[in-house]
Chain A
Amino acid sequence: MNPSSSNPLTFQELILRLQTFWAERGCVLQQPYDVEVGAGTMAPETFLRVLGPKAYKVAYVQPSRRPADGRYGENPNRLYKHMQLQVILKPPPENVQELYLESLSAIGIDLHAHDIKFEEDNWEAPTLSAWGVGWQVMLDGLEITQFTYFQQCGGLDLFPISAELTYGLERIAAFLQDVDSIYDIVWARDPETGAVVKYGDVRLADEQQFSVYNFEAADVEKTWKHFELYEAECKALLDTYNESYKPNQEQELKEVELRLDRESIPKRPAKSRFPLLAAYDLCLKCSHLFNILDARGAISVTERVGVIARVRALAVGIANAWVDQQESEDDVGGGTMESEPVRGRLPKRKAEKLAPVGS
């Protein structure tokens, strides 16, 4: 007996339906972010887009890595990497709950034959200094979605706020297909032959191998080293941004420029071109490396709080700089698109080169 219909959606059809649904309601369909994240919230399409005043609507699938949640592929309900479908509605429309319920109908759930509840669940991410209030949406006793009204992100009060809908895709697919193990979810069905490819066929190897890596094989010393390098690089960028674009600094610079021969000194880069997005990627790297170290049992109790605070400091610094950069985009960017940086104002290159992670 299948809970929805005799022909439930495959995993990929589920994704397609939800994407279509939200695209038809004006969302930009983004692609999964290509840096490791623990949740869709951490992708810049959420973390940075919810900041500042600009309205935005976006939907994307985000594979989310949580090293400590790995179970070597042996537990039918837990994964090292799961898929979220993330929707950001900024600002939230008045009928946001109704829209959400419509999206469930769109994936074949007859709301009249099921039990839906919105149960209080407030979300908080200490490493991002972000929090919101909302619910876990329960469908016949199963948590299928996290529904959050963001209130703060990167330590900043949000205005307007955003609604974040995070669908747990594996759970929903297992529900629709009525299977007890995630690995039995039908991912794709060949329309010609009817042959099926299951979740296990596609992903079991990741779960096994990454569990081994995260729990046993990751080289603790090198991982720490990576963490420190990424952190240093991120901090250097942030420091440069803050030194270059603090209000009083800008004034001084203008004065200097006035006094000097304009032709003889290269103009500083447009503020809008400053690579804060790159700084954020570096921050995400740190967050993921922290998670690996944590899963590896390599972070002592005394260190733990401190390391979280270090990642948070990066995230908060970037959020503040990002808001500043967005605010002044118009007056800085206009007309003076200079690519040549002011001497000495480029982020200082460290002597040691970053090891190419993942290659």
Chain B
Amino acid sequence: MADFLLEIGCEEIPARMIDAASRELRERVAGLLGRERLNAGEITSFDTPRRLAVIAHRIPASQSDVSEQITGPSLNHSYKDGQPTQAAISFAKKAGVDVSQLEKTTTPKGEYLSARITKKGRAAAEILAENLPRELASIYWPKNMYWRKPNERFVRPVRWIVAMLDGEAIPLEFGGIKARNLSRGHRILADRQVMIPRAGSAYVDVLRSAKVLGRAEREQQIRKALDVATSTISGACWREDKTLLDTVVNLTEFPSVVLGGFDPQFLQLPEEVLVTVMRDHQKYFAVEDASGKLLPHFLAVLNTDGDSQGLIRHGNERVLRARFNDARFFWETDQKKSLLERLDLLRHVTFQKDLGTYYEKTQRVQRLCSWLSEIIRQSGMAIRPGVIHKAAALAKTDLTTELVKEFTELQGIVGGLYARVQQLDSSLPEATRFAIADAIYDHYKPESTEGDVPRSMEGAVLSIGDKADTIAGMFALGLAPSGSKDPFALRRQANGIVKVIDKYKLPLKLNEMMRDARAGYQGSAAERKFVDAAAFEESTQAFFRERLEFYLKDVLGYGYDVVNAVLAAGADDVVDAIARAEAVKQVMHMPEFAAIGAACKRMRNILRQAEEKGIKPAEAFEGLADSPPEEKNLAAYIETYGPRIEEHRRKKEYSDALLLLSSARERVDAFFDKVMVMVEDAKVRANRLALLRTLLKEFSTIADFSEIATEVK
């Protein structure tokens, strides 16, 4: 047994890529060891910005020998007159055994000569040196490079490699670098080669003495240092931010923290701006008081062991001051031109190269939003007058502001903040102005599946209208997302639409909405490049069906059979689909529905076969004098219960409708037991087919139970 160590020393690996690459390297080493019968006792990984390492504890020094049976010529050809033939002799020679040691094997094809041979296990060092370069070259990087040979790619240039079995380096070579037992310490704090005495946990200890810590240790050290630094301000705490923490953990080999301050006057700037500058641009943690209010301090994570002379704090404060000054300068400059005045500037901002400018988009979104508002208003839901139209007009104007040009991630938010402080229109009451501001502020929401939806109905409508317009334009150009290609994040935007519709329970039909969104492009230059309306409808329908399916399954947690059954009965109305899914979930465990599912499948098959043979159902079912009682019973059921079920359905009382439907089970079963549908008599046959068609329609307008049939026992 031996311990194996592999360390790839590299120029600084991008922070965002380290975790995944480290995991992948560990899996690749584990996979290789497994395939080569060199299974380790335990495999650990170690990574910093300048190295990816794997330690495989207790692997065999070499593969064990294996005994193997190999098959030779058929027995018929192996002996002649009791003497081995030339074929048998050659086989024995090839197998390295004496002819007398050959055995016979019976296979399905007949009897063959065979030999048992022993395959000598190879040394671990040899196997690893031979195979690891291929594994290393296969690691996935979102963006890689070459520096030596064009076909030799890695994330950044590899500068050293340690590959050892216990105390011995193994002859591994990758990227033109031969493995040795020499690693390197921290770039500044221990800028030297570091001898690794042996593979195993000694490696981690040696690196620690060279001021290089593993991931978990760095995270712990940063958290502790953040706490300590913050404790010097009474009542303060640092603002938890997992993404930021992961980033700084992967930007450091030996982290420490410095607390800095800024002029409290900057607190007059919106918190959104200050936090964005600190977090996104400077990678600083924000400091807040007990009530969550921002304090004029920040925490910078350093890749060194402190700041004894205070120079680092001073430098960081200087940079932040310049950034905040810039932000203030941008804020003040931006006020010189109101959002209203900026509307015209949108004529110069491209939305998408074929879809024209943001000015044109604004006009389309305005129209679309007023149409959506009308539908919502007609359903009796409240929308404040005069808000959406104005908000839609101004929503994109912040793209022309200096602040958004500098901090693009604040689009929408900046517009909302400006709308709040600007006199948009002297006739507007303040409450309306604030409602407009909030709608603009929120209109990019939700930013992700977990993200918040807009706070107001007006924001919700604007959010939907803006996204629907983008999706419609892109799909009309034939630019639907495919695979991992979704540069306009259309999937995220469609997910957003579905979520907002659900949260606000909006009576919007997706298909109609998309048709109207497309109509917004009528007469534009883009229209010449559009696919035809039918292709558009087909692709957007399939796209939204997928998004709704995702939402029902992954966000709301409905089972896939429920989702399939519900969407088969319609995927156009989000709120309705969710209500149906909930109802189906309530009843699907009942045995009646298993039976009904089976019956639906049967009805569907019969109707399909009839159609294939060109046999048409009658216009409507009519009671015939000689109908068997089962047929009459079933028809009577539909007549009695049909209107009641329909009434429930109309009121969207889907559980009640389904419960009523379940009472049909016995009659359906009896019908299929006793009555033959595809009889010779054309009139009877057509009549029965009509009955089935009516019944199937009753059953499948809420959910297609044949999708569930096999799942429920």
Interface residues of A (CB under 8 A from B): 1, 3, 75-78, 92, 94, 97, 101, 111-120, 122, 132-133, 135, 139-142, 149, 151, 157, 159, 161, 175, 178, 180, 297, 300-302, 304-305
Contacts of A119 in B (CB 8 A): 12, 15, 251
| Alpha-carbon separation in the docked complex, A178 to B314 (Å) | 9
**A-facing residues in B270-313 (Cβ within 8 Å):** 282, 284, 300, 302-304, 307-312
B188→A3 contact, CB < 8 A: no
Set B302, B329, B349: member contacting A75, Cβ < 8 A? B329
| Alpha-carbon separation in the docked complex, A112 to B187 (Å) | 10
| B156 proximal to A (CB < 8 A) | yes
| Nearest CB in chain A: distance from B429 CB, A | 36
Contacts of A75 in B (CB 8 A): 326, 329
| Nearest CB in chain B: distance from A116 CB, A | 7
Query: What are 13 A-B contacts defined by CB distance under 8 Å?
Result: A1-B314, A75-B329, A77-B322, A113-B311, A115-B300, A120-B15, A133-B143, A140-B315, A140-B316, A141-B315, A180-B318, A300-B348, A305-B353
**A-facing residues in B369-424 (Cβ within 8 Å):** none
Q: Which residue of A lies closest to B329 (CB)?
A: A75
| B140 proximal to A (CB < 8 A) | no
Contacts of B303 in A (CB 8 A): 115-117
Set A92, A120, A140, A151: member contacting B16, Cβ < 8 A? A120
Contacts of B193 in A (CB 8 A): none
Contacts of B326 in A (CB 8 A): 75, 77-78
| Nearest CB in chain A: distance from B225 CB, A | 13
Stretch at the interface among B64-72, B144-152, B504-512, B696-704: B144-152
| B357 proximal to A (CB < 8 A) | yes
B188→A76 contact, CB < 8 A: no
| Alpha-carbon separation in the docked complex, A64 to B284 (Å) | 31
| Alpha-carbon separation in the docked complex, A47 to B318 (Å) | 35
Contacts of B349 in A (CB 8 A): 301
A115→B304 contact, CB < 8 A: yes
| B325 proximal to A (CB < 8 A) | yes
Contacts of B146 in A (CB 8 A): 151, 161
Known: A117-B251, A118-B12. 16 other contacts (CB 8 A): A3-B315, A94-B157, A112-B188, A113-B308, A114-B312, A115-B300, A117-B12, A133-B144, A133-B156, A140-B312, A140-B315, A140-B316, A141-B320, A142-B319, A161-B147, A180-B318
| Alpha-carbon separation in the docked complex, A140 to B188 (Å) | 14
B11→A97 contact, CB < 8 A: yes
Contacts of B605 in A (CB 8 A): none
| Nearest CB in chain A: distance from B299 CB, A | 12
Q: Which residue of B lies closest to A78 (CB)?
A: B326
Q: Which residue of A lies closest to B353 (CB)?
A: A305
Contacts of B189 in A (CB 8 A): 112
- A interface footprint on B342-370 (CB within 8 Å = 1, 0 otherwise): 00000111100100110000000000000
B318→A178 contact, CB < 8 A: yes
Set B145, B308, B316: member contacting A149, Cβ < 8 A? B145
| Alpha-carbon separation in the docked complex, A119 to B157 (Å) | 15
Contacts of A94 in B (CB 8 A): 157, 159
Contacts of B12 in A (CB 8 A): 117-120, 135
B145→A151 contact, CB < 8 A: yes
| Alpha-carbon separation in the docked complex, A302 to B156 (Å) | 38
Q: Binding site of A, secondary structure by majority: helix, strand, loop or mixed?
A: mixed
A139→B315 contact, CB < 8 A: yes
| B261 proximal to A (CB < 8 A) | no
| B14 proximal to A (CB < 8 A) | yes
Contacts of A175 in B (CB 8 A): 315, 318
A157→B150 contact, CB < 8 A: yes
| Nearest CB in chain A: distance from B190 CB, A | 11
Top 3 closest A-B pairs, CB basis? Answer: A140-B315, A120-B14, A118-B12
| Nearest CB in chain A: distance from B135 CB, A | 22
| Alpha-carbon separation in the docked complex, A3 to B316 (Å) | 11
* Residue of A3, A116, A118 ringed by the most chain B CB atoms within 10 A: A118
Set A78, A161, A304: member contacting B350, Cβ < 8 A? A304
| Alpha-carbon separation in the docked complex, A119 to B280 (Å) | 13
| Alpha-carbon separation in the docked complex, A132 to B157 (Å) | 13
| Alpha-carbon separation in the docked complex, A111 to B312 (Å) | 11
| B178 proximal to A (CB < 8 A) | no
* Residue of B12, B308, B314, B316 ringed by the most chain A CB atoms within 10 A: B12
A92→B348 contact, CB < 8 A: no
| B321 proximal to A (CB < 8 A) | yes
| Alpha-carbon separation in the docked complex, A120 to B15 (Å) | 7
Set A151, A159, A297: member contacting B348, Cβ < 8 A? A297
Q: Which residue of A lies closest to B284 (CB)?
A: A141
Contacts of A115 in B (CB 8 A): 300, 302-304, 307, 312, 315
Asked, given contacts A116-B303, A180-B322, whether A141 binds B316 with beta carbons under 8 Å apart, the answer is yes
B348→A149 contact, CB < 8 A: no
B300→A141 contact, CB < 8 A: yes
**A-facing residues in B184-213 (Cβ within 8 Å):** 187-189
* Residue of A76, A97, A139 ringed by the most chain B CB atoms within 10 A: A97
A141→B282 contact, CB < 8 A: yes
| Alpha-carbon separation in the docked complex, A94 to B309 (Å) | 33
Contacts of B311 in A (CB 8 A): 1, 3, 113-114, 140
A116→B188 contact, CB < 8 A: yes
| Nearest CB in chain A: distance from B173 CB, A | 15
Q: Which residue of A lies closest to B177 (CB)?
A: A94
Asked, given contacts A133-B156, A140-B316, A178-B318, whether A301 binds B310 with beta carbons under 8 Å apart, the answer is no
B319→A141 contact, CB < 8 A: yes
Set B307, B315, B353: member contacting A142, Cβ < 8 A? B315
Contacts of A149 in B (CB 8 A): 145, 147, 156-157
Asked, given contacts A119-B251, A301-B348, whether A180 binds B321 with beta carbons under 8 Å apart, the answer is yes
Contacts of B49 in A (CB 8 A): 118
| Nearest CB in chain A: distance from B227 CB, A | 20
| Nearest CB in chain A: distance from B305 CB, A | 9
Contacts of B348 in A (CB 8 A): 297, 300-301
| Alpha-carbon separation in the docked complex, A114 to B256 (Å) | 12
* Residue of A94, A101, A139, A141 ringed by the most chain B CB atoms within 10 A: A141
| Nearest CB in chain A: distance from B274 CB, A | 15
Contacts of A1 in B (CB 8 A): 310-311, 314
Contacts of B316 in A (CB 8 A): 140-141
Contacts of A305 in B (CB 8 A): 350, 353
Q: Which residue of A lies closest to B16 (CB)?
A: A120
Asked, given contacts A141-B320, A151-B146, whether A113 binds B309 with beta carbons under 8 Å apart, the answer is yes
Q: Which residue of A lies closest to B308 (CB)?
A: A113
Asked, given contacts A77-B325, A139-B315, A180-B318, whether A116 binds B350 with beta carbons under 8 Å apart, the answer is no
* Residue of A97, A117, A142 ringed by the most chain B CB atoms within 10 A: A117
| Nearest CB in chain B: distance from A71 CB, A | 8
| Alpha-carbon separation in the docked complex, A116 to B315 (Å) | 12
| Alpha-carbon separation in the docked complex, A220 to B282 (Å) | 39
**A-facing residues in B128-186 (Cβ within 8 Å):** 143-147, 150, 156-157, 159
Q: Which residue of A lies closest to B260 (CB)?
A: A141
Q: Which residue of A lies closest to B17 (CB)?
A: A120
| Alpha-carbon separation in the docked complex, A122 to B17 (Å) | 14
| Alpha-carbon separation in the docked complex, A254 to B701 (Å) | 81
Set B143, B147, B150, B315: member contacting A114, Cβ < 8 A? B315
Q: Which residue of B lies closest to A299 (CB)?
A: B348
| Alpha-carbon separation in the docked complex, A302 to B354 (Å) | 9
Contacts of A140 in B (CB 8 A): 311-312, 314-316, 318-319
Q: Which residue of A lies closest to B346 (CB)?
A: A301
Contacts of B156 in A (CB 8 A): 133, 149
Contacts of B300 in A (CB 8 A): 115, 141
Contacts of B150 in A (CB 8 A): 157, 159
A116→B187 contact, CB < 8 A: yes
| Alpha-carbon separation in the docked complex, A113 to B325 (Å) | 26
Q: Which residue of A lies closest to B282 (CB)?
A: A141
| Alpha-carbon separation in the docked complex, A142 to B319 (Å) | 6
